[in-house]
């Protein structure tokens, strides 16, 4: 993708009276007379796009404008990039992203008619530009500067580095000597400590510690299991009734049994008195009946006068009725009815009394059956009733007491039954109560004994609750084995300590080399191994660095021997010759390099002309052609933009037309041109030729 400027905005400032904005085309003509801001815009574009400070690869001579705005560039990344007076410049993308030379900016910009690529060489091009663009030698020089002179002169002979023992070479020798010393010390350590009896004891200690550690884990797991079992038993115990509840339940059962026995005794006595009570109630009722019967027998039977009077009043009523005497008729009729009714009632009572006499006979018969004696009068009945009254009172008292006891017994029964159901989950019959309580007490006692037993075991282990393990370690807890392994470890430690006291000298030597203050073998060996590895790595790095630099220096030297031929071949490339022939209308068709005179141009007739001796106008054409050719080579055939500030002003009118025509061809080949002009003739040439490009041509006049 071509590197292209899409939009330019320069805020007014300096001689620029209004903001400059341009949506760039392929060919862009900006025309302006003196003091209209043309140079201000050119230098602002340079300041926005390129590095202009002390670290700039090109020597820009810019005025101290305080310009603002932005330039939008495409072709560097997948998105548009904005360039301002601060932030990253094009050199960053050329060097770090695209791999292009940093001074590519000198090829793309002609400032104020200065077509020279450099002022350091007589021909205006310079060896450095030729190296960077045509051979890469400038890049090789920059690499060679980083290699010390000592290493540039060193060689590799029989797999040995031969050179003056200075700098990195002497550092390598010192590092090698120290590495040998450290390796010797590590070997002594391995011989005296790691592979000897100490090593064997250490291995045995590690295995014993591992076994003890596993047993310790088994103990922690076993303790955790005991703890869980205790919690389960405590939960189960908590689900059983409390001792106070069982004691109260036993007491209630005892009270229930006692009251039930008492109620049975009273009921038995009441059963004995129930016959007397029945006789008492019969005698009391019989006395009332007897009194009523005797009382009614004392009354007389029906009076005959009543029926006679009723008949007489009836005859009078009939007679008065025959004579039509209504009032006497009514009075006699009423009187007859009254006397007849009285007679009827008397007759009825007499019949009732006769029935009572039969009832009295029956009453006397029942009395004789109940008491075995005859009922002669009311006094006899009263005497018998007085005799029965005492038993009746006792029966009532017993009945009331029995009812109260029965109520209490039922209350206790309901309460005890519910309590046992709550405790056992099932209803129990009274005959099962005591056994159920005994069973609950037994279960509770067994749980307490089991909990106490496990708690004693847990305490004996000496494991805190936070140290319990949930996962089985794969080893079962064995108290005897734990004691045996602990004693073995103690013996090993004692023996090992005796051996280690003999290695104090080795500790001192290791401490001296490593700078460590530790006396722990594991730490010392780790630090010694780390130091050996570190010094070994340092030795490898130094050696590989020296070898790399020696090899690179050798390769650079080989490339340097071929440098002139590379530059010569580069000057023969079409990217250089075609622009040269086109801009000089075929006058020059070859270019070579001379060590003293610089670039030499040759005609078709093999006439040679040093570039430095050619006229200013012709040299401008050639330098612009070289810019385009070198830029094409560096960018590997891709197009870019050119900023030309009055680049054609020193050329005569014929050359101007030729240069404008070539510029149009560059645009057609993908290049983007920004030409800043103050010359009317050059402006008109661009205007006339630019019309052929249509919308690809943009022109703007500054005022």
Judgement on whether residues 171 and 255 belong to the same structural domain of the protein: no
Judgement on whether residues 501 and 595 belong to the same structural domain of the protein: no
Q: Which of the four pLDDT bands, split at 50, 70 and 90, describes residue 140?
A: low
pLDDT exceeds cutoff 80 at 141? no
Which spans in 613-679 are helix H? 616-634, 653-668
The model carries a pTM of 0.44
**Which of 559, 583, 616 finishes a domain?**
559
Helix (H, G, I), strand (E, B) or coil at 459: helix
Residue 154 located in a structural domain: no
Give the separation between CA 382 and CA 284, rounded to whole angstroms.
9
Judgement on whether residues 589 and 541 belong to the same structural domain of the protein: no
Judgement on whether residues 249 and 395 belong to the same structural domain of the protein: yes
pLDDT exceeds cutoff 50 at 157? yes
Judgement on whether residues 192 and 275 belong to the same structural domain of the protein: no
Residue 446 located in a structural domain: no
Question: Averaged over 94-107, what is the pLDDT?
Answer: 62
Judgement on whether residues 20 and 125 belong to the same structural domain of the protein: yes
- What pLDDT, in 10s, does the model give residues 412-429? 888 888 888 888 888 888
Q: What token pair was written down for 385?
A: 């009733």
pLDDT exceeds cutoff 80 at 367? no
Give the separation between CA 201 and CA 90, rounded to whole angstroms.
69
Orientation of helix 304-322 relative to helix 326-371, angle to 10°: 160
**Which of 529, 559, 589 finishes a domain?**
559
pLDDT of amino acid 601: 83
pLDDT exceeds cutoff 90 at 83? yes
Judgement on whether residues 372 and 249 belong to the same structural domain of the protein: yes
Residue 28 located in a structural domain: yes
Judgement on whether residues 530 and 628 belong to the same structural domain of the protein: no
Q: What is the CATH number of the domain that holds 671?
A: 3.40.50.300
**Which of 525, 559, 593 finishes a domain?**
559
Residue 364 located in a structural domain: yes
Domain extent for 391: 243-421
Q: Which of the four pLDDT bands, split at 50, 70 and 90, describes residue 128?
A: low
Residue 45 located in a structural domain: yes
Judgement on whether residues 58 and 70 belong to the same structural domain of the protein: yes
Helix (H, G, I), strand (E, B) or coil at 155: strand
pLDDT exceeds cutoff 80 at 252? yes
Q: What is the dihedral of CA 179, 182, 188, 190, to 10 degrees?
A: -90
Judgement on whether residues 590 and 687 belong to the same structural domain of the protein: yes
Judgement on whether residues 353 and 402 belong to the same structural domain of the protein: yes
Residue 286 located in a structural domain: yes
pLDDT of amino acid 48: 92
Judgement on whether residues 404 and 259 belong to the same structural domain of the protein: yes
Q: What angle do CA 522, 527, 532 make, to 5 degrees?
A: 125
Residue 694 located in a structural domain: yes
pLDDT of amino acid 355: 47
- What pLDDT, in 10s, does the model give residues 329-349? 778 778 778 777 776 676 665
Which of 440, 438, 461, 442 has the alpha carbon at shortest distance from 450? 442
Residue 220 located in a structural domain: no
Q: Say how many domains are in the chain.
A: 3
């Amino acid at each position: 993708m071509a590197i292209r400027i899409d939009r330019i905005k320069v805020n007014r400032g300096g001689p620029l009276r209004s903001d400059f904005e341009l949506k760039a085309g392929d060919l862009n003509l900006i025309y302006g007379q003196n003091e209209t801001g043309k140079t201000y815009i050119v230098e602002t574009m340079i300041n926005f796009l390129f590095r202009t400070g002390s670290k700039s690869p090109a020597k820009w001579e810019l005025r101290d404008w305080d310009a603002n705005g932005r330039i939008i560039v495409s072709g560097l990344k997948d998105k548009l990039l904005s360039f301002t007076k601060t932030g990253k410049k094009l050199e960053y993308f050329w060097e770090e992203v695209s791999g292009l030379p940093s001074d590519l900016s000198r090829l793309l910009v002609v400032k104020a008619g200065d077509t020279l690529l450099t002022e350091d060489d007589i021909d205006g091009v310079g060896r450095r530009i030729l190296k960077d663009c045509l051979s890469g030698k400038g890049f090789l020089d920059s690499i060679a500067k980083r290699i010390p002179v000592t290493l540039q002169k060193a060689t590799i002979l029989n797999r040995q580095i031969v050179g003056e023992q200075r700098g990195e070479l002497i550092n390598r020798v010192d590092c090698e000597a120290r590495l040998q010393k450290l390796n010797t010390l590590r070997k002594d350590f391995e011989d005296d400590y790691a592979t000897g009896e100490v090593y064997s004891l250490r291995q045995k200690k590690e295995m014993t510690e591992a076994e003890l550690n596993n047993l310790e884990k088994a103990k922690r797991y076993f303790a955790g299991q005991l703890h869980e079992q205790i919690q389960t038993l405590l939960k189960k115990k908590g689900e059983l009734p409390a001792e106070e509840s069982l004691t109260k339940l036993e007491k209630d059962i005892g009270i229930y049994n006692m009251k039930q026995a008492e109620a049975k005794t009273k009921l038995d006595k009441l059963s004995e008195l129930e016959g007397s009570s029945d006789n008492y109630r019969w005698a009391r009722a019989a006395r009332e009946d007897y009194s009523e019967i005797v009382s009614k027998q004392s009354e007389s039977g029906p009076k005959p006068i009543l029926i006679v009077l009723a008949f007489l009043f009836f005859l009078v009523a009939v007679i008065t009725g025959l004579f039509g005497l209504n009032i006497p008729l009514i009075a006699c009729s009423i009187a007859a009815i009254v006397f007849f009714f009285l007679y009827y009632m008397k007759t009825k009572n007499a019949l009732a009394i006769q029935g009572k006499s039969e009832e009295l006979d029956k009453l006397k018969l029942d009395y004789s059956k109940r008491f075995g004696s005859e009922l002669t009068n009311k006094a006899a009945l009263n005497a018998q009733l007085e005799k029965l009254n005492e038993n009746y009172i006792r029966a009532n008292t017993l009945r009331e007491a029995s009812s109260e006891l029965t109520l209490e017994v039922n209350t206790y029964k309901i309460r005890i039954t519910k309590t046992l159901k709550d405790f056992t989950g099932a209803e129990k019959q009274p005959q099962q109560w005591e056994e159920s309580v005994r069973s609950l007490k037994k279960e509770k006692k067994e749980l307490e004994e089991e909990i106490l037993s496990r708690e004693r075991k847990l305490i004996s282990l000496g494991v805190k609750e936070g140290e319990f393990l949930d996962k089985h370690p794969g080893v079962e807890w064995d108290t005897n084995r734990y004691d045996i392994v602990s004693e073995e470890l103690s013996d090993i430690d004692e023996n090992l300590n005796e051996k280690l006291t003999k290695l104090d000298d080795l500790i001192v030597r290791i401490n001296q080399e490593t700078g460590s203050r530790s006396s722990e073998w594991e730490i010392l060996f780790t630090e010694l191994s780390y130091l050996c590895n570190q010094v070994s790595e340092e030795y490898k790095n130094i050696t590989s660095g020296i070898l790399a630099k020696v090899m690179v220096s050798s390769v650079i030297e080989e490339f340097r021997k071929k440098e002139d031929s590379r530059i010569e071949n580069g000057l023969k490339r079409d990217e250089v010759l075609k622009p040269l022939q086109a801009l000089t209308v075929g006058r020059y068709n070859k270019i070579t390099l001379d060590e003293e005179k610089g670039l030499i141009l040759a005609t078709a007739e093999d006439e040679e002309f040093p570039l430095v001796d050619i006229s200013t106008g012709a040299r401008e054409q050639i330098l612009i052609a070289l810019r385009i050719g070198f830029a094409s080579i560096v960018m590997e055939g891709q197009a870019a933009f050119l900023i030309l500030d009055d680049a054609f002003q020193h050329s005569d009118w014929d050359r101007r037309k030729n240069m404008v025509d070539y510029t149009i061809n560059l645009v057609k080949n993908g290049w983007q041109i920004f030409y800043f002009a103050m010359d009317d003739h050059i402006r008109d040439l661009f205007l006339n030729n630019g019309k052929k490009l249509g919308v690809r041509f943009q022109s703007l006049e500054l005022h």
